[in-house]
Structure 1
Amino acid sequence: MKKNILITGTSTGVGFEAALLFAENNFKVYATMRNLNKSDSLQKEIKVRNLSIEILELDVTKNDSIINTVQTIINKDGKLDILLNNAGAGFAKTLEHASQDEIDWVTDVNYTGVIRTSKAVIPQMRKQQSGHIINITSIGGLVGQPFNELYCGAKFAVEGFTEALASYLTPAFGIQFSLVEPGGITTEFMSNAVEKTQNEQGELATGDYAPIFQKYISGAQNRAGDGEASPYQTGKEVAEVVLKVALSENPPIRIRTSEWAEKLGHLKTVGDPDGTKLVNQVQSFFL
């Protein structure tokens, strides 16, 4: 029987590429997105490639939406093998300049949404005594970066959340957990983040933050053109790492997706690159 996978945020970027890649590798894919009006590109590829992908509506900020979609999949297949939490959003802005609505939005999409989807699928995976939850975070989930404190904070939270679940659900119920940590990604996510930053740059273009903000923006633009040294990968390149993790017999707790991300996170990961030593130590301390 084919393994099935639920992927969030599949209208563009990593989620879009992952849906196609997993289907091409004999998975039954449930590709979900908040707005089904953005499904045209995926529908076109499904038809051209003749792939086993079903598109469903799912908004990670709405609990009822998640529960209904998960139940639809379980009713159809009687199981859920993999959850890929991919949906995310961000922007570069100081804490001082961010509104409370923006703070809540970044936290809700990037962190609370992962909690909601995980909570919805764990009962079924526990019943199965198997399953794999893969959370796409960021190198920003390991390393705090200028003007990204809100995004990094949410991704740090997902990292701790995932480590904690792995410390007891994996040995008790066979549910695997993995964190995929890209650097930059040349997708609509990045375009949206840059556009939002540029649109609001006026607030940061003057005053105390202006010199360091301009330096940050210039550095980001320069890094985008550094070829192999660039932090930016395509959505497909990241999706290929996700597929490798999903197919692994002993999947890592965490994995970086590029040399740039590996270098930036080196001081945090040098003693335990894939995160398994730490989780094993936590188990020995508490269980």
Structure 2
Amino acid sequence: MSKVVLITGGSSGIGKSIGEYLTEKGFIVYGTSRNPENYKNSKFAILELDVKDTNTIRKAVATIIDNEGKLDVVINNAGAGITGAIEEIPEAEIKANFDTNFFGPINVIKAVLPQMRKQQSGLIINITSIAGYMGLPYRGIYSASKGALELLTEAFRMELKDFNIKMTNVAPGDFATNIAAGRYHAPLLDDSPYKKPYGNTLKLMNEHVDSGSDPNMMAYAVLKIINTKNPKVHYKVGEFMQKFSIVLKRILPDKMYEKLLMNHYKL
């Protein structure tokens, strides 16, 4: 029987690439969007779901179970970018980012666990970020929200081991998607003490996304994980130097690594 897959945020970017690839491979795929009516030409079903609204999550999960009788794989892909000097980002925007990137996946996981426990099987893949392994300048809130999800997965794996439910993280680097357009950008204020370094860093970040890798790399990685009997705790997908930056953080003294980051961002 074909495996049934739920992908949050499956209407564009990495989620769309994963959904289309898994559909081609014979999976039954359900993506989600807050506005599914905008994606009537999708190659797989798009359900209404907002990770910040538990009612929409419960309804989407119930629809899949009613239709298919099971739910094999959940991919927590929905996420939001945020940039700015931490001092200048409004508290409401910080909380909104964590609601999407951290509490959102928790809401989805809580909604699907009863069905997976009933099946005595299931796989949950949390899409995090290589940025979650380090505190990046002017992306500190994003780094923190994705880093929190990485750690949450580590704890969840141990709590779920008795139910044959697997969980893993996949941390992408920079990919050529529309994520930059959907970010919250703290405004570049003329009287801000951060105006010049933040402006330069923002430009560099957008260039990285524009020249990023093919998002199909993530689709290939996800299929490989689905076909792995016992997935690892962490996976990284992206350019060599982006993945290697995590290795460097482990082996270099903190101040030396900090200096490398500052040189990279020209700070």
Q: TM-score range by the shorter chain?
A: 0.7 to 0.9
CA RMSD of aligned residues (A): 1.9
Structure 1 window deviating more from structure 2 (12-21 vs 253-262): it is 253-262
Q: CA deviation at 1:2?
A: 0.8
Contact 2:180 2:209 in 1 (8 A): no
Answer yes or no: is 1:77 the counterpart of 2:94. Answer: no
Superposed CA offset, 1:215-246 (max 9, x none): 42354356568xxxx6x223222222122211
- Partner of residue 188, structure 1: 178
Following superposition of structure 1 onto structure 2, how do residues 115-264 of structure 1 map, counting pairs within 5 Å? 115-170=106-161, 172-193=162-183, 196-197=184-185, 200-203=186-189, 205-220=190-205, 223=208, 232-258=212-238, 259-264=240-245
Q: Normalising to structure 2: TM-score of the pair?
A: 0.87
Q: CA deviation at 1:208?
A: 2.0
AA aligned to 2:60 is T
Question: 1:4 & 1:104 partners in 2: Cα distance?
Answer: 32
Aligned residues: 250
- Partner of residue 256, structure 2: none
Q: CA deviation at 1:93?
A: 0.8
AA aligned to 1:87 is A
Question: 1:29 & 1:223 partners in 2: Cα distance?
Answer: 30
Overall identity of the aligned pairs, in %: 36
Q: CA deviation at 1:188?
A: 1.3
Question: 2:209 & 2:16 partners in 1: Cα distance?
Answer: 22
Q: CA deviation at 1:40?
A: 3.8
AA aligned to 2:245 is L
SS in 2 for 1:213: helix
- Partner of residue 6, structure 1: 6
1:109 corresponds to which of 88, 100, 105: 100
